[in-house]
Every structure is written in C-alpha cells, then in structure tokens.
Amino acid sequence: MSSPITPCAKTALVFLGSLSLTASATADHDIEYGKGPLHWAKHIVVIYMENHSFDNLYGTWEPINGAKVNGLSNADAAHTNQIGQFDAPYNCLLQNDPHLTSPSPLATNCQDRTTDTLFNSAFTNQPFQITPYIPVESPTRDLVHRFYQEQYQINDGRQNRYVTGSDAVGLSMGYYDTTTLPIYKYLHSKHAPNYIVLDNFFQGTFGGSFLNHQWLITARAPLFIGAVNDGTSNDLHSVVDANGMPNNYPLYKSPIGVLVKDATLTASCNPPAGRPATPSNVVCGDYAINTIQPKAQPYAPGTAAAKQLPPLTTLTIGDLLTQANIDWAWYSGGWDNAAGNVNGPGWTNGNNGVSCTDPNVIADASYPYCADKLFQFHHQAFNYYAAYAPGTKARARHLRDEEEFIQAAKKGKLKAISFVKPLGEENEHPGYATVSEGSQHLVDLIKAVEDGPNAEHTLIIVTYDEFGGSWDHVPPPGQGGVAGIHDRFGPGTRVPALLVSKRFKNSTVDHTQYDTSSILATIERRFGLKSLGERDNAVEDLSKAVGTVIPK
C-alpha cells in the first residue's frame, strides 16, 4: 500500500518503481514458509537501542575467530579527515562539550586557522577515544542527528562533514573502546551465546529517532495530511539553503542566514511568499522527518494540536502479522506509566486517582498519564497509527510494557515477534543516558531470553535506530558511487548490529550489506508475509548471516 500523494509531495515520491537496485537485488528471496536458515526461529526479538554509529561504539571490536571487523583500523584518510564548509581540511577539532574544550579543562596542543576565527584545541583532525575525558558512566552532550543535516555530513559518501554539520562539532569524531562495554564482555564470557557482528548495517533512513522508528515498522516516511503551507507558526516545513542545510552551526554559516528553518517536515515543494525556493536536489513535500508528537496519548505535555501528526493509516508490520494470525508486541520501557495503564505490569504511580507518585515523573504530567521524565514519546512508533488508538483492542493486545517482555522471556512465553524499546535512561542515547548503563541493560534483556525456556528457538536482533550524530567511515549504499539498495530517504550512516542466539554453532562477522529494512524483510520472509514496500522487498534479509552459523 503506497502513501497518498499530495500535489506538493510529488517530487519527493521515491517508492513505486524509483528505488535504485544497484546491488544484488536479484538474490533469491523466495524463502518457503517454515524452511531455510530461519526455520527453527519460532521467536524473533528485536532490541532497538539509541544513537550511535558503528565506529563510535563497535569500531574497536576485535577479530572474531580470525575474522576481522570493519572498524576504525580500516578507516582511510579520505573518509576520516573532516573538512570545512568550503572544503579546506581542519588542522584541529573544535570542541564545545565542557569536558573537551581548550584551554580549559584541556591544554591546547593544536591551533586551527582554516575558518574565519582561530580556535584552539587539544584534538587534531582524527578520531579520538572519549573515555579518557568523559567516563563511560557519564553521558556526553547530545549531538545533532536530523534528516537534512545527516545528508550534508555524509557529503556523498565522503564521510567528511560530520564536524561541520554538527552543533557538537568535534565530539562527532569520538569513539568508545568496544572491549570495555558490558555487551562485549558478556558475549566473551563463559557460557555466553554465540553471536554475529553485522559490520555493513545502515540506519534505514537519514535523520533521527522518529523517522527511523517509523522505518522499522513501515519502511517509509509518513505524510502529514493537511499540512499548513503558509509560512505561519503552524507551517512545519523546513527551509533549506543551496547546500540542503536547514540550520547554522559553529562551523557552518548558511548563505541565506537566518532564513533557514530546521523543522519537523520536509521542505515545501512550493514554498509560500517570503520563503526561498527549495533546491531541486532535496526531498520536499509534506513528509514528517524529524521529531513530532502523535495525536494519541501518550505525547509530550503541552504540545499544540496543530503540531501533532494526524493519525496514520498506512500498513505496518504489525498489521501484516495480525492478518496472518501471528502474535506480536511492541514492548516499551515506561509504557504503562506513560499510557495511563493503571496497575499494569510496569505501573509505578499508585492508584490514588489524582496524582502521579513516582518521583521520576515528567513535569506537567496529568494523571493517569504519568510518563517518566526520560520517556521518549516519539519512539513509540505504533502510537502514531489509527489502528492502535487508545481504546482499540489492537492497542491493548500489542502495545505493552517492557517489564512484561522480561517476564515472558523468563517464563518461556515469548510471542513470535517482540520489539523491545528501553526507557530513556537505559537506551544509550547521548545527552541523557550513559553507554555503560544502556549496554548493561542490553545484556540483561539478552540474558532474560538466553536463560529462558525459549532460547533454543529465538533469534535476537540488536541494533541502533540511528547514528546519533557520530561519524562513521563507511559510505552508505547509493552514496559516492557505492552500490546498494537505496532511495532518496536513505539508507543513512552505518550503525551497530548484532545477531545473538544459543542456536548458533560459532561466532563470526557478516559483511553483507543490510539496513533497518532488512529486519522487516527477515520477519516477512520467515513468516510468509508480503512486503510493505519496495525497500524491504529488495534488501537482503538476515537469513544469509544466520545461514553461516547454523548447521545444515
């Protein structure tokens, strides 16, 4: 089922025959239901973490049984050295995270004169390890991760404008020592399950969490039906300059100055009077691409109705599963509190009928909608769809609290498909969560499955919704002449991805090209479902990786 087309969205339509199939799109995807490398997988668990590129988090993963992971040691200078707005390479990395600035708290050892203003730095123009300056138990500042900015940062596969196109500048080149992460230690501990590192896995679409969560369940960008296009405060269209940029940053100054607008929708194809024309080479229309709130509770308190996305009606993977009588659920940390499910498995706010009693409740909460202060409303992908509106049977059955998933895993009552979305403090998102706590929570989720009765028949897929503003050296498919399945929405930056199962006979690395749509393709082909769109129909599914570690 295709998204409806509005007149001003015509040039942005990238489905329905315009997908680029420059990789192995002719691969055999006709996997007979119940056969093939995934026939044993009665349960698929998808754990969706937050905001890290592959190099940022897994870039120092050591060889696995002699197979090398494509990490930082493979990064060549052409895809590493960052350049400025006018193509001059920096000498140093400008830093504005308070832990990284010079001359305080760090001594200056580099001066940069490639911009109009001299700046001092402790960091030369190359990747650097974060933890000597910011402990893994502490969050870094957040980094911009938005639809148009990421395309500028990727710079047609050169990977060399992550610093210039960022509000966090040099921090985008930071990385963690993979071997110190709880997930790495767990997978290398005695009696741990075998695993596969997917080192060529890309976020499904450019930009941030909202759009990539939508991509996980639909493989398409949602349309804002009836979007205002008049230049008023309720006009949610972005305004981009000739470089496709919608904002100004410390190292980027837009040629149209303050006329740029970094908003929730794509730029208008036909901007109203007073706004500059949208360049022909950028996606335009009424697509919701950046963080936007849903109409249905839970949503951020105080959100104006005009700035909420109207309920969506396009098909999701949930709809396909339900039609096929295959049970599934989206399990979210903090869901019962946020959705007002009083006395649900994850409810922690009492039952006084008046006020939210959990001390971590968000400001301005209105009982019974007692969301945690780090609950992310825009991560709840199915809550944007009319089929899962409050009061529907589908919502009650399929939108559940993460606590219920943990209990189901421990008791051997996993559904066929489980999507697991941790609460903010446990999802690894820079700015409000720590890598150490999130990685440990990931370990706990995996152990709940692997120590439970369903382990032998469960495939766990771990990945991250998007890059979080961090650099990666591998160009996405369709960028810089790199062959692969792509369209005008992506894929975007490479992100960490793992497959874990007690069924695997050994651990390994898989270099096959995948993106977030590959998760949909895996579910669809394993359970005999139709494809939702062109991208998930064309991409490789994960059975190819699994086939290398499952006995024939």
Give residue-wise pLDDT tens across range 169-200. Answer: 999 999 999 999 999 999 999 999 999 999 99
**Tokens coding 341:** 């499910």
Question: Is 316 part of a structural domain of the chain?
Answer: yes
- Pull the structure tokens for residue 544: 């190819």
Residue span of the structural domain in which 448 resides: 45-90+125-222+292-333+375-546
Quick one: 379 and 369 in the same domain?
no
Residue 540 lies in a domain: yes
Distance CA 491, CA 53 (A): 13
**pLDDT tens readout for residues 68-89:** 999 999 999 999 999 999 999 9
Query: CA 216 to CA 525: how far, in whole Å?
Result: 15
Q: Please indicate, yes or no, whether residues 86 and 198 belong to a single structural domain of this protein.
A: yes
Is 274 inside a domain boundary?
no
Percent of the chain clearing pLDDT 90 (strictly above): 91
Q: Do residue 359 and residue 415 come from a single domain?
A: no
N-terminal to C-terminal alpha carbon distance within the chain = 37
Residue 17 inside a domain? The answer is no
Domain end residue (candidates: 354, 374, 394): 374
Cα dist from 428 to 48, 60, 205, 469, whole Å: 10, 18, 20, 13
Q: pLDDT tens digits, residue range 512-535? A: 999 999 999 999 999 999 999 999
The Cα 525–Cα 529 span in angstroms is 6
pTM of the full structure: 0.94
Please indicate, yes or no, whether residues 360 and 298 belong to a single structural domain of this protein.
Answer: no
* Whether residue 364 sits in one domain with residue 388: no
Total number of domains in the chain: 2
Name the domain boundary from 323, 350, 374: 374
Residue 178 is assigned to a structural domain of this protein: yes
Give the pLDDT confidence score for residue 116 in this predicted structure: 87
Is 236 domain-assigned? Answer: no
Rounded (10°) angle between helices 209-218 and 517-526 = 20
Percent of the chain with pLDDT over 70: 93
Is 347 in the same domain as 413? Answer: no
68 and 166 share a domain? yes
Question: Cα(59)–Cα(467) distance, rounded to whole angstroms?
Answer: 13
* 354 and 206 in a common domain: no
Cα 195 vs. chain centroid, distance in angstroms? Answer: 21
Give tens-digit pLDDT for 126-145.
999 999 999 988 999 999 99
**Domain CATH number, residue 437:** 3.40.720.10
Laid out side by side, the sheet with 417-421 consists of: 399-401, 328-332, 417-421, 43-49, 458-464, 497-501, 194-198, 508-510
* Residue 345 belongs to some domain of the structure: yes
In terms of domains, do 461 and 528 share one?
yes
Residue 141 resides in a domain: yes
Contact 505, 550 (CB under 8 A): yes
Say if residue 356 is in the same domain as residue 418: no
CA-based torsion, 342, 347, 352, 355: positive or negative: negative
Predicted confidence band of residue 36 (pLDDT cuts 50, 70, 90): confident
pLDDT for 270 beyond 70: yes
Averaged pLDDT, 218-242? 97
Q: Report the sign of the C-alpha dihedral through residues 431, 432, 436, 442, in that order.
A: negative
Q: Are residues 72 and 198 in the same domain?
A: yes
Task: Give Cβ neighbours of residue 249 (< 8 Å, ≥ 6 apart).
Answer: 144, 164, 165, 166, 167, 169
Give yes or no: residues 54 and 68 share one domain. yes
Average pLDDT, the chain: 93
DSSP one-letter string for 169-210: GGGGGEE--GGGSHHHHHHTSTTPPEEEEETTEE-SSSS-HH
